[in-house]
Amino acid sequence: MQRIIFHIDVNNAFLSWTAIYLLNHGYKQDIRKIPSVIGGDEKARRGIVLAKSPIAKKYGIVTAETLYSARSKCKNLQVFPPNYAFYKEQSKKLYNYLSQYTPVIEQYSIDECFLDLTGTSLLYGNDYVSLAHKIKDEIKEKFGFTVNVGIGENKLCAKMASDFEKPDKVHTLYLNEVETKMWPLKVNDLFMLGKSSAKKLNDLGIYTIKDLAEANIGLLRRHFKSQGDYFKEAALGIDYSKVEPRNAKNKCISISRTLPYDVTRKEDLLKILFSETEEVSFTLRSQKLYTGTIAVTYRNNLFKNYSHQITLDNPTNVTEEIYKGVKTIFEASWKEDPIRNIGVRLGDLKEKAVSQMSLFEESDVKVVDKVEEVMDSIIKKYGKGSVIRASKKEEDYNIERRQ
């Protein structure tokens, strides 16, 4: 049976949402209509473009470039900080609204959803383009921001379609339209085909999605392994993946911070790691999960990334135990280079602390669990910083603000 998938994508999400927030709070200008970007804090060394207005785009400003570079392209560029709490609110509103149309909905990211509308013709009729317009216009009216809707017979085509022309548009990419609508595009317009693969393909004389669709599969496999098969199928518009409602648990939980200056003192790095461990452990427990592997990730002053990890004998969700692992990894792996960004990642997440513990150890862990539980509930109620471990003094938290 023919499937019908919608992909809904908020246009310039962070910028649109900040525009709405500002308008709601008495700001006179709609920042969607001027050369503007949402950007990180340059003083904290996070100064990159997170989202851009259509006019900023016309100046050649692209996502993820430095604000410094963006300004050099457009002298009167206006920069606004992100407001993640508000973005999450807007995202949730959108998701709840879209859920009315089908229970088979997948939130792909903060500003994107897939809807599977297969077999809904009795409810909505067969005119999916009209339905898409209705959804798009209702969102604009109800929430004040615009979206693109892509319609296809699978997720890949729906996703590619929503990317065609922006903003505030509906596009289809049915299988019989792949040749006319998708093949003329450059290879790196294909979903999941990034810069690095595009360069390799160009070196092989493959420039367009059509070239890719017609390329020799053996050649692709030689250069890209299993990814070669994906490229070929995607270029033909083939995709069998399902729209999966996301009750699925995370595969990993991580946190990392770019520091306001390069940190070289071991004690300072350990304090940062401790605070990160507390946050990531809190998230772990709030999702009722246990971690099986712990990793410490680094980016040094030369922008070189590296990481080390360990596998635990017994999965845990206890901050002190996780920190013990973090410290062990740090001692073994830090190259004593100046650190620009440092993080903690918990992986191999499990629903249960399955282990070969003795009964005695198990009851021991339960006591620690209880302590964490109480601390977590206080943090939930009164916020971060309301509970501080005896081993940890207030000033430990202030490393990032020190100059």
Partner DNA sequence: TCTGGGGTCCTAGGACCC
Cβ proximity to DNA, 120 vs 333, nearer residue: 333
258 is an interface residue for DNA by CB under 7 A: yes
The catalytic position among 42, 65, 106, 112 is 112
Give ∠ CA 170-173-177 in degrees, rounded to 5: 130
379 is an interface residue for DNA by CB under 7 A: no
Structural contact between residues 17 and 145, judged by C-beta atoms closer than 8 angstroms: yes
Cβ proximity to DNA, 131 vs 326, nearer residue: 326
Structural contact between residues 372 and 317, judged by C-beta atoms closer than 8 angstroms: yes
Cβ proximity to DNA, 83 vs 283, nearer residue: 283
3 is an interface residue for DNA by CB under 7 A: no
Instruction: Using CB under 7 A, pick the residue from 27, 42, 219, 266 that binds DNA.
Output: 42
Instruction: Using CB under 7 A, pick the residue from 92, 225, 266, 389 that binds DNA.
Output: 225
- CB proximity list for 367: less than 8 A, separation 6 or greater: none
Instruction: Using CB under 7 A, pick the residue from 110, 238, 368, 387 that binds DNA.
Output: 110
DSSP 367-388: HHHHHHHHHHHHHHHH-TTSS-
Cβ proximity to DNA, 172 vs 275, nearer residue: 275
328 is an interface residue for DNA by CB under 7 A: no
- Rounded Cα gap, residues 80 and 31, in angstroms: 9
Cβ proximity to DNA, 264 vs 311, nearer residue: 311
DSSP 90-139: HHHHHHHHHHTT-S-EEEEETTEEEEE-TT-HHHH-S-HHHHHHHHHHHH
341 is an interface residue for DNA by CB under 7 A: yes
Strand runs labelled E in 214-290:
253-263
Residue reference for tokens 């606004």: 80
311 is an interface residue for DNA by CB under 7 A: yes
Residue 296, phi then psi, degrees to nearest 5? -115, 130
Instruction: Using CB under 7 A, pick the residue from 185, 255, 379, 387 that binds DNA.
Output: 255
Instruction: Using CB under 7 A, pick the residue from 63, 83, 99, 120 that binds DNA.
Output: 63
95 is an interface residue for DNA by CB under 7 A: no
283 is an interface residue for DNA by CB under 7 A: yes
Cβ proximity to DNA, 102 vs 300, nearer residue: 300
261 is an interface residue for DNA by CB under 7 A: no
Element (DSSP H or E) covering residue 327: helix 319-333
- CB proximity list for 207: less than 8 A, separation 6 or greater: 186, 187, 201
- CB proximity list for 117: less than 8 A, separation 6 or greater: 4, 5, 6, 101, 102, 124, 128, 131
Instruction: Using CB under 7 A, pick the residue from 83, 118, 120, 227 that binds DNA.
Output: 227
- Rounded Cα gap, residues 185 and 201, in angstroms: 14
Q: Of residues 118-177, which lie at the interface with DNA (CB under 7 A)?
A: none
Q: Of residues 231-250, which lie at the interface with DNA (CB under 7 A)?
A: 250
- Rounded Cα gap, residues 168 and 378, in angstroms: 44
107 is an interface residue for DNA by CB under 7 A: no
Of 97-105, 120-128, 194-202, 391-399, the window that binds DNA (rule: CB under 7 A) is 194-202
Tokens (6 digits) for 138: 């209702």
Q: Specify whether 112 is catalytic.
A: yes
- Give 16's DSSP letter: H
Of 104-112, 118-126, 172-180, 371-379, the window that binds DNA (rule: CB under 7 A) is 104-112
- The alpha-helical segments, DSSP class H, found in 240-289 are 266-286
Q: Of residues 17-36, which lie at the interface with DNA (CB under 7 A)?
A: none
78 is an interface residue for DNA by CB under 7 A: no
Catalytic residues: 112
Residue ranges that bind DNA, judged by CB under 7 A: 13, 40, 42-43, 45-48, 50, 63-64, 66, 68, 108-112, 191-198, 225-227, 250-258, 283, 293, 295, 303, 305-311, 333, 341, 343
